[in-house]
Amino acid sequence: SQTIHQWPATLVQPVGSPLSLECTVEGTSNPNLYWYRQAAGRGLQLLFYSVGIGQISSEVPQNLSASRPQDRQFILSSKKLLLSDSGFYLCAWSVSPRDYGYTFGSGTRLTVV
Amino acid sequence: GQQLNQSPQSMFIQEGEDVSMNCTSSSIFNTWLWYKQDPGEGPVLLIALYKAGELTSNGRLTAQFGITRKDSFLNISASIPSDVGIYFCAGQLSGQGAQKLVFGQGTRLTINP
């Protein structure tokens, strides 16, 4: 069966520090991968999505970047965190074209102090 | 960008009551989905709707894909304490190879025992 792993679960980082959040998927090949951010417990904002290795699409301009070095690995990064980067970050996957809907990871709660 | 209008934003009900929430959009979607999010967790898919007019049930949950393809509703019958959480609707846009979903802002359900 397919599973999605996201870590760490919580993270407290100082302003200006770098960030790396990792997401991996097991049990499937060539998934579509997504990074979402959720502020204040509601409202899911799509940040990045990827349809294949090295292919990254950005939805909103921001202080973050994403990379997909392997088929089932998706990384969210920042060189210098801002206070406004705090939030709940969710990774998700789907398999095109017949599978509808996403499967989400358990999320990372990021607090920038 | 695309937006879904989800209402109500919050609901405070007594255990055993029925719940109804809905989403509307100015755009046509080819798939509607309903998710539930527990505190500190990623959203979990409840129901997926694939055809206009479709009515689908999952236990005490019933959802319908509006005939105009621009709206959907979710009903929960005989609510129980574990129904507490945030419910999100999501629409999949036509022709989107990466299966990008647009999410509503969520309905926070609180149940008084």
A102 and chain B in contact, CB less than 8 A: yes
Per-window interface: A 5-44 vs B, CB < 8 A: 6, 32, 34, 41-44
Distance (Å, whole) CA A56 – CA B25:
27
Close Cβ partners of B19 (under 8 Å, ≥ 6 residues apart)? B11, B13, B75, B76, B79, B83, B109
Residue A105 with chain B: CB contacts under 8 Å: 42
Q: Which of A32, A41, A107 sits opposite B42 (nearest CB)?
A: A107
Task: Using the predicted structure, report yes or no on whether residue A22 has a pLDDT greater than 60.
Answer: yes
CA-nearest of B81, B104, B69 to B19 is: B81
Task: Using the predicted structure, report yes or no on whether residue B3 has a pLDDT greater than 80.
Answer: no
A51 and chain B in contact, CB less than 8 A: yes
CB A28 within 8 A of CB A96: no
Q: Which of A51, A100, A106 sits opposite B42 (nearest CB)?
A: A106
Distance (Å, whole) CA B92 – CA A101:
8
Q: Strand B4-7 to strand A103-104: parallel, antiparallel, or no bridges (unpaired)?
A: unpaired
Average pLDDT of the segment spanning B86-99: 78
Task: Using the predicted structure, report yes or no on whether residue B1 has a pLDDT greater than 80.
Answer: no
A96 and chain B in contact, CB less than 8 A: yes
Q: Search chain A and give the residue with CA nearest B6.
A: A43
For A80-95, write each residue's pLDDT tens digit: 999 999 999 999 998 7
Q: Search chain B and give the residue with CA nearest A44.
A: B103
A2 and chain B in contact, CB less than 8 A: no
For B44-90, write each residue's pLDDT tens digit: 999 999 899 999 999 999 999 999 999 999 999 999 999 999 999 99
Q: Which amino acid, A72?
A: R
B91-104: string of b/e by CB count within 10 Å (b at 16+)?
bbbeeeebbbbbbb
Q: Which of B33, B48, B86 sits opposite A41 (nearest CB)?
A: B86
Residue B109 with chain A: CB contacts under 8 Å: none
Q: Which of A32, A41, A42 sits opposite B99 (nearest CB)?
A: A32
CB contact under 8 A, A96 and B99: yes
CB A109 within 8 A of CB A90: no
Token pair listed for A61 = 């301009």
Distance (Å, whole) CA A89 – CA B31:
24
- Please report, rounded to a whole number, the percentage of residues in chain B having pLDDT higher than 70: 94
